[in-house]
């Protein structure tokens, strides 16, 4: 797969650009990664965006001073290249679930409830022995609102969100606006939450890239881990530069 300046590049964050940590706040962003992302943006004519389960405000905080177009909360938040922000859903949609989830997290050491406003994420990475009980609780709570809520089964996290958007819909939304419109979409992700984006990319004749060794995925391509992703991304501007220099040499002849 040879990179092209005509691509629109969409990137998941946790597990793709960042190594997973015990808690969402514990992730680390290197200056090198910020530099790689900053160089990618002009290489693709500005058509680079983050599509994450995190809130956009959290993405801005951890990648500061870099500020990219982004879809947060699996597409419930959307910020275009001009900085315009649009939101779907209301925090009140999840009000009946907050109390039981908060109480469960308070009773069990290692269980973390991440309240993102429009979504609720129950993490059991630090208490893997609680997985079965966490699943029963989340299934019971969300099942009462199955018509409007969806559970996303991630890596040691169960996230409840409104059925108003997903990462595939977020990607399609970017492709309806400049500078993404008319470009071939490329999406890199690592988790179940990214399968919606893989499906959308495949339907649009783009490139879907899974991070890690999982075989049960819609992605057509694979990169081994976060380091492989960053290594591949940092080479892209260099490839474009070499191709331009070769074209210029041919023209001069």
List the pLDDT tens digit at each of the 253 positions of the chain: 889 999 999 999 999 999 998 888 899 999 999 999 999 999 999 999 999 999 999 999 999 999 999 999 999 999 999 999 999 988 888 999 999 999 999 999 999 999 999 999 999 999 999 999 999 999 999 999 999 999 999 899 999 999 999 999 999 999 999 999 999 999 999 998 899 999 999 999 999 999 998 668 999 999 999 999 999 999 999 998 887 666 665 555 5
Tell me which residue has tokens 């590049």: 9
* pLDDT (0 to 100) of residue 91: 85
Closest by alpha carbon to 5, among 191, 241, 199, 195?
241
Tell me which residue has tokens 């058509």: 47
* Residues carrying an active site annotation: 12
Query: What CA–CA distance (Å, rounded) separates 37 from 188?
Result: 14
Cα radius of gyration (the chain):
19
Q: What stretch of H or E contains 61?
A: helix 56-63
Compute CA distances 221 → 55, 88, 126, 175, 208, whole Å.
27, 31, 31, 21, 6
Asked whether 235 and 241 are in contact (CB, 8 A), the reply is no
Residue 238: both structure tokens together = 């260099």
pTM: 0.91
Asked whether 142 and 136 are in contact (CB, 8 A), the reply is no
Closest by alpha carbon to 51, among 200, 245, 181?
200
Domains (range + CATH), the chain? 7-87+165-252 (3.40.50.1000), 91-162 (3.30.70.1020)
What 197-200 contacts at long range (C-beta under 8 Å, 24+ apart), as own/partner pairs, is: 197/10, 197/12, 197/51, 197/166, 197/167, 197/168, 197/170, 197/171, 198/168, 199/168, 200/167, 200/168, 200/169, 200/171, 200/172
66 burial type by CB count under 10 A (0-12 exposed, 13-18 middle, 19+ buried):
middle
- CA 12, distance to chain mean position in Å, is 3
pLDDT in tens, 59-93: 999 999 999 999 999 999 999 999 999 999 888 88
Compute CA distances 106 → 42, 99, 160, 166, whole Å.
46, 10, 18, 29
Query: What CA–CA distance (Å, rounded) separates 128 from 126?
Result: 6
């Amino acid at each position: 797969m040879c990179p092209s300046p005509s691509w629109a590049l969409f990137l998941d964050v946790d597990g793709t650009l960042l190594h997973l940590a015990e808690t969402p706040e514990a992730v680390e962003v290197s200056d090198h990664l910020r530099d790689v992302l900053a160089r990618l943006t002009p290489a693709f004519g500005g058509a680079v965006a983050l599509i994450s389960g995190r809130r956009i405000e959290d993405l801005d905080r951890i990648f500061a001073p870099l500020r990219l177009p982004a879809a947060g909360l699996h597409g419930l938040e959307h910020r275009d290249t001009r900085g315009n922000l649009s939101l779907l859903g209301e925090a009140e949609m999840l009000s009946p679930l907050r109390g039981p989830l908060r109480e469960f997290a308070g009773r069990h050491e290692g269980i973390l409830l991440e309240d993102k406003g429009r979504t609720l994420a129950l993490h059991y990475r630090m208490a893997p022995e609680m997985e079965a009980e966490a699943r029963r609780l989340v299934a019971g709570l969300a099942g009462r609102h199955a018509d409007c809520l969806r559970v996303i089964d991630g890596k040691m996290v169960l996230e409840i969100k409104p059925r108003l958007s997903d990462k595939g819909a977020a990607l399609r939304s970017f492709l309806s606006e400049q500078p993404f419109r008319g470009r071939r979409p490329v999406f890199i992700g690592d988790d179940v939450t990214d399968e919606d984006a893989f499906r959308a990319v495949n339907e649009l004749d783009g490139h879907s890239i899974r991070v890690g060794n999982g075989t049960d995925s819609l992605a057509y391509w694979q990169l081994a881990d976060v380091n492989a992703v960053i290594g591949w991304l940092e080479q892209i501007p260099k490839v474009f530069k070499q191709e331009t220099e070769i074209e210029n040499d041919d023209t001069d002849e």
